[in-house]
Amino acid sequence: MRSYLTKHNVVIASLVLVALIAAIGWIATANMERATAQRSQTNFDAWEQSQADLVSAEETIAEQDDTIDDLEQEVADSVEAAAAVSTRSDSLDQREDELDTTLKDIEARESALEEGEEKLKADQEKAALPAWYNEVKKCLERGGDYVSATVSDTSYTSLDTSCYNG
């Protein structure tokens, strides 16, 4: 039988074993580098996505700031409008009070005019009646039955009347 374990075979087997171990080491190192590269790529992709999200968030914040500024301006405008309405309302209340006062003055004047018209009408009616009418009326109001009157040329403007009871 021949022995396959010769010096050359042992050296060749050792070299093959070293080459096999080196190949396994190289494959393991390559796999580790590939895994590290994939993790780095994944981390880089995540970083890029985070940067894109950050830019988007900054744009959204800028838009929200603009919206907030617009809303604050609308609130300021609303407050200003409310103040203007309040001022106009106060002015209208004052004008209503002035109108009420004016209406009361007008009503008082109308009442005074009506009284004056009634007095004027009564005075006109008195002027249309004969002079003795008022004297007779007074006599009858006091309970008198008849009146005796004397009129002369000299006393025509003033009547000389007497009131008699029954």
**H or E stretch at 149:** strand 146-150
For the chain, give every domain's residue range.
Answer: 7-147
- 147-156 pLDDT, tens per residue? 666 655 554 4
- Whether 160 and 149 have beta carbons less than 8 Å apart is answered as yes
Amino acid at residue number 148: S
Torsion angles phi and psi, residue 148, rounded to 5 = -110, 130
pTM exceeds 0.85, yes or no:
no
What mean pLDDT comes out for the span 125-148? 72
**Neighbouring residues of 161: CB distance < 8 A, sequence distance ≥ 6:** 132, 135, 136, 139, 147, 148, 149, 150
